[in-house]
Amino acid sequence: MRDGDIPTIFNPRRFRTPSVVVTGDEQPRGSVPNGPFTSSAHLQHTDSVTGSQQAAEPSSGSGALHKLKSCKNSCCSRSARKIYFGVCVTICVTASWVGATHCIKYLYLRRPVPNTSYSNNSNSMHRHINKCTQNKLIPTITRVVPYNAPFFTTWFCTNWTVLFFPLYFICCLISTKCKSPGSILWESVWNFRDKGFTAARFLTRCSLFCLLWVATNYMYIHSLRILLATDVMALFATNVSCVYLLSWVILHEQFVGVRIVAVILCDTGIALLAYMDGITGSPTLGGVVLAACAAAGSAVYKVLFKKVIGEASYGQVSLFFSLIGLFNAALLWPLCLVLYFTRVETLYWEQLPWPALLAASGLSLAANLLGNFSVALTYDLFITLGLITAVPVSAALDVVLYGAHFVGMKLAGMILIAVGFFLVMFPDNWPDYITRLLR
């Protein structure tokens, strides 16, 4: 995969391969199918002459040694190492994504804390208790502290994307000792100048992408107030089908019928989740709409980044994300204050759950770093798999922590979304792979 490709499970510039392919241990970049049948690229079709020659080889010690060497070479090949790294990346993406989502969900839980403030503004119950106990304070009284600040959470977590370029800068200094700090920064900036971006145009693009990023994350975080973390994560996994539709329309990618079926299945799953609790007096529909809009916003961000920025190096991506964090920190803090003082959002600074908020921000940053930089080690298929493998892991946590039940329309909707997710991963020439497997 090239550095600027959209981080999804399909490669927009994949070339169609013939039905019978003879490959070695490694393939040139761009020829490895980026789909669930990547390992089938290493199946070798031998003709009758080669097969007879192999059958005629004597079974000796040298033959066994040759088999051991060939097995070692295949297990330690470049493609095999990328698969090993891919499994580790999938596990890390799953863990960070589930951890960040559940930490944000934990923020909305009402926590009782000791009420030790007995000022003149105490409520009537405190005054009644004080009268009954002859004005003796009872420090064991507790009160419930609500947390209802999705925009502040979004703003705080987005600020951490400022660390993208510093982390990339430090890694470059460690790995390439011959480069000076100025050359690393100039290389990232010069690549944008080569694409015709002026300073004003580039900063304008960054500000627009910042607004889209914040809006997408706000809808995702706000939906966690209403739905379980598993429901939100399942709905967000439908962004892969939105990416395909937008890439087909905007980027003029190849039409693949099975992916249209995947889009239909994902939409059906969203509809089932929307009506799983009924529509009369239930906030579920609003939560599903927010989560589905977050998935669509994520797809719009990815496709527009590909359309506007194009092929981007790691330095460009790091600089872009850091600028998004800077714009967020510098321009959107007044909105946080407005929402706080108008009581649209509720939070108590003295009882703010900092551990959960810091954990959510750090895990979210880790998930974004893995999603953008892990393509240097493995195929983007394994990165995107973390979105769907996180759903059953989150479901297990919801069952243990909150006693959730996944039955009926909720379970059916999640299954349809999962099936649609895997259908989107089918490569363009999937009939050729099925024919090869049958042979």
- Provide the H-helix boundaries in 250-283: 257-274
Query: Model confidence over 185-213: pLDDT tens digits?
Result: 888 787 787 777 888 888 899 999 999 99
243-265 pLDDT, tens per residue?
Answer: 999 999 998 888 888 889 999 99
Distance (Å) of CA 18 to CA 1, 41, 137, 390:
20, 11, 83, 35
Which of 59-63, 231-235, 340-344, 423-427 is predicted least confidently? Answer: 59-63
pLDDT digits (tens, 9 = 90+) for 145-155: 678 999 999 99
Q: At 336, phi and psi to the nearest 5?
A: -60, -45
Strand partners, 346: 148
How many CB atoms neighbour CB 248 within 10 A? 18
Least confident of 129-133, 249-253, 364-368: 129-133
Among 13, 10, 5, 410, residue whose Cα is nearest residue 242: 10
d(CA 185, CA 169): 8
- Cα torsion angle, 326, 331, 334, 335, sign: negative
Q: Which pairs count as long-range contacts for 306-311, CB under 8 Å and 24+ apart, including other chains?
A: 306/4, 306/5, 306/6, 306/12, 306/247, 306/251, 307/250, 307/251, 308/205, 309/4, 309/195, 309/205, 310/4, 310/195, 311/2, 311/3, 311/4
The Cα–Cα gap between 384 and 370 comes to 10
Q: How far apart are alpha carbons 218 and 153 in whole angstroms?
A: 8
Q: Which uninterrupted H or E stretch holds 113?
A: strand 111-114
Cα-Cα-Cα-Cα dihedral sign, residues 148, 149, 151, 157? negative
Average pLDDT over residues 84-103: 94
What SS3 class is residue 196? Answer: coil
Closest of 288, 287, 302 to residue 371, by C-alpha: 302
Percent of the chain with pLDDT over 90: 47
- Confidence band, pLDDT 50/70/90 cuts, at residue 379: confident
Confidence of residue 135 (pLDDT cuts 50, 70, 90): very low
Average pLDDT over residues 55-75: 58
Q: Does the pLDDT of residue 322 top 90, yes or no?
A: yes
Query: Does the pLDDT at position 121 exceed 80?
Result: no
CA distances from 191 to 66, 206, 310 (A): 48, 15, 11
Write out pLDDT tens, residues 150-174.
999 999 999 999 999 999 988 888 8
pLDDT at 75 over 90: no
Q: pLDDT value at position 177?
A: 64
**Calpha distance 121→131 (Å, rounded):** 15
Other CB atoms closer than 10 Å to residue 343's CB: what's the count?
Answer: 8
CB 377 within 8 A of CB 82: yes
Report which DSSP code applies to 349: G
Task: Give the list of residues 6+ apart from residue 5 with CB closer than 8 angstroms, or none.
Answer: 11, 12, 13, 306, 375, 380
Domain locations along the chain: 80-109+151-438, 111-144
CB of 301 closer than 8 Å to CB of 242: no
Report the pLDDT averaged over residues 177-186. Answer: 74
Full-model pTM: 0.77
